[in-house]
Amino acid sequence: MRLRNIPRAESVLKACREVMKEPALYRGCWDKVFGNENPVFIEIGMGKGQFLLTMAEQNPDVNFIGIERYSSVLLRAVEKYMERETQAPANIRFICMDAADIADVFAKGEVSGIYLNFSDPWPKARHARRRLTSKEYLSRYDKILACDGVVEFKTDNRGLFEFSLEEIRESDVWEIKERTFDLHGDEAMNRGNVMTEYEEKFSAAGNPICKLRAVRKA
C-alpha cells in the first residue's frame, strides 16, 4: 500500500523531543534516556498510537517505546501525544525506523517485552520473511529481549496467525505460552486487554481477534 506523504511530518517529528532522532546512539543506555531502570517495552508498528499511549498512562512504572517505519504514520501518534500537553505520559518515546534494525538500537537483554498489534500480513508467499512473526524477526527479538522477555501478537488475520503459530512451533528458541482464536471471548486472556484503533474497528465488525504470547523455551 502506498502511503500518502504528509509535508509537515518531518518538521513535527523533529520538534518533538520524545521522538529519538538517532536511536542507535542510545543502544545499551535507554535507562539514561528515561532516567530510571524501569523495564522497557516496545511496540513495533504502533500506528496511530492509541495502544501505547494507553499502556503508558496505565503503567507509569514501565517505559514504552513506539516504533513506526513511516513518518506519515508516526505523525498521527505523535500529534495525539502532543495534544495531551501537561497530561502526556513521561514514560514514552517514539522512533521512526525499520524494525529490521532493532538490534542496532537495543542491546542484549535491554527490552522486557515486544508488542505486535495488527501487523502487515504481507500476504504473498515470497514476502513471508517480512512478516513480524517470521523466523527472521523472531531471531532479531532474541537479540534484544531479556531472558524472561515476552512477545505478544494480536491480529484479525487468521492466516497470518496460523503462520505465526507454526513459525514459533518450529523455533528452537521460542514456545507459545498462551494463544486464543477469540480474544474477546476468552475471559482469561482478555482480562486487562488494551485495544488498538484497528481492534476496535475489526471487533465492532464481528471479526474475532487472535492473540498469542511467546516466551523462550525453559
The one-character DSSP state at 38 is -
- In sequence order, the β-bridge partners of residue 63 are 40
Considering the candidates 31, 120, 142, 186, report the single residue annotated as catalytic: 120
DSSP 141-208: HHHHEEEEEEEEEEES-HHHHHHHHHHHHT-SSEEEEEEES-GGG-HHHHTT----HHHHHHHHTTPP
197 is in an annotated binding site: yes
Residue 98 marked ligand-binding: yes
DSSP 8-state assignment for residue 108: T
> Does 180 carry a binding-site annotation?
no
Q: Which of 46, 43, 58 is nearest to 89 (CA)?
A: 58
**Is 37 marked as a binding-site residue?**
no
Annotated binding residue 115: no
Is residue 31 annotated as involved in ligand binding? no
User: Quick check: is 120 catalytic?
Assistant: yes
101 annotated as a binding-site residue: no
The residues carrying an active-site annotation are 120
Query: Which residues define the annotated binding site?
Result: 43, 68, 98, 120, 124, 156, 196-199
Query: Which residues define the annotated binding site for S-adenosyl-L-methionine?
Result: 43, 68, 98, 120
Query: Which residues define the annotated binding site for substrate?
Result: 124, 156, 196-199
